[in-house]
Chains A and B, each alone.
Chain A
Amino acid sequence: AQTVTQSQPEMSVQEAETVTLSCTYDTSENNYYLFWYKQPPSRQMILVIRQEAYKQQNATENRFSVNFQKAAKSFSLKISDSQLGDTAMYFCAFTGSGTYKYIFGTGTRLKVLA
């Protein structure tokens, strides 16, 4: 069975600094997709970034980038120039080509400090 693990329940970072959130996953599939979602206090789930496993190049979206290590089954999120609005719960998620399901980690609560 596929699993997603986020080992950092809470993190904090100073405004304008860089922070990295960790995520590891386990799967026997070779073709899959990984996502990072943001859940601000409003609790609306917002997609931050996605990565296709067959792409070696790490995905980037403005201040957000990932470090995808397929062999290590690691998918970390780096937030550069952190802003107060980045304060949220961040979830790592996985879906495989052979499944309809999205499997989520337990989340990392990130607080950006002024």
Chain B
Amino acid sequence: SQTIHQWPATLVQPVGSPLSLECTVEGTSNPNLYWYRQAAGRGLQLLFYSVGIGQISSEVPQNLSASRPQDRQFILSSKKLLLSDSGFYLCAWSPGGNTEAFFGQGTRLTVV
């Protein structure tokens, strides 16, 4: 069966520090991968998605970037965090073909 792992679960980082959140999927190949941010009252905002290694689509201009160095690995990064980057970040995958997306357990990021 397929599983998705996302870490860390919580993170407190100072303003101006770098960020790296990692997400991996097991039990499938060539998944579509997604990074979402959840803010109160704003639902889930799609940040990045990837349909293959090295293919990244950005939805929202911001202080973040994403990379997909391996087929089942998706990384969310920032060189210098801002206070406004605080939030709950969710990684998700789908096999494509308009099936549902499956989510990781999320990372609560607090920038102080």
Contact = CB atoms under 8 A, between A and B. Distances in A.
Interface of A: 6, 9, 32-33, 35, 42-45, 47, 50, 52, 91, 93, 95-97, 100-107
Contact of B98 (A6, A33, A104, A105): A33
Contacts of A95: 98, 101
B41 A9 contact: yes
Contacts of B13: none
Given A100-B49, A101-B49, 4 more contacts: A33-B99, A44-B103, A93-B101, A96-B98
A108 B105 CA distance: 20
B100 A106 contact: no
B27 interface: no
Contact of A35 (B41, B49, B100): B100
Contacts of B102: 47
A39 to B, nearest CB: 8
